[in-house]
Amino acid sequence: MVSIRGLGFGCAFAAGLTLLGGAPGQTGAAMAAVSDRCRVPDSYLAAIGTLDRTESLIGSRRAVRVLMLGPSLAGSMRRPTLETALEHRLPGVDFQITQVLSSGLAEDDFEWLRTAVSRSAPDLVIWQVGVRDAVAASDVDQFQRVLDQAAGWIDARGADLILVDPPFVPHVQHERIYVPYVGEISEVSRSEGVPLIRRYAAMQHLNLVAEKSHLPAATLQPCMPEIVAEAIGRAVAK
């Protein structure tokens, strides 16, 4: 059973998350496969680091409190929502998801996270980060320092953290501004051992597939809930 509570925090930034699926979880139940249209190379699912607290809670069939900072992971009429995708992969686990919409830079988000984590004590934080900093041309080194500090702070409070890098936006003139921030997020993931969902690379791959198949890129957006559920399932299965 999955319950979701929504909280407003400015405007949602750009969305679009797509990965593939199909590994068994620690619960012993087989996880559902991700739809064919959402498939990407398996290497994009190789999260660095583990989700120790989340894995322990799932293994003991206890509720998992999730704080998600970023755009809503809503599905569509033909695509699952995050809660249904999680239920398919990890049946019997209660994910209590608090959704927070961010309009700030990484530094602003971290300040807000310090308050939110201290107040609600989540087990898992999913942080979609980098879009606003890229648009604002934030100092890249400072951006990395903030992520390093946030990762250490969240870990010290016993919560798991998943980072989600910016989306790939095809046919947009300013798209390349995201690249340095994607690189810094990846570096923090490696140095701090934080699981990372490689949204940029996955969406770039899916965009190429869509173009070859003469499909509009917008049809890939509803893959997002399947990806987060698959990433969590694979991380706890390590």
Burial class (CB in 10 A: 0-12, 13-18, 19+), 100: buried
Q: What is the pLDDT of residues 46-80, one digit of tens each?
A: 666 789 999 999 999 899 999 989 866 655 445 66
pLDDT value for 73: 62
- CATH superfamily to which 2-236 belongs: SGNH hydrolase (3.40.50.1110)
Least confident of 130-144, 149-163, 188-202: 188-202
Task: Look over the chain and give the mean of its residue pLDDT values, rounded to a whole number.
Answer: 78
- In the predicted structure, residue 135 carries a pLDDT above the cut 70: yes
pLDDT value for 112: 92
CB 84 within 8 A of CB 75: yes
Tell me the whole-structure pTM to 2 decimals: 0.82
| Domain chopping of the chain, boundaries | 2-236
The residues near 46 (Cβ < 8 Å, ≥ 6 apart) are none
**Average of pLDDT values for 146-169?**
94
Confidence at 28, pLDDT banded by 50, 70, 90: very low
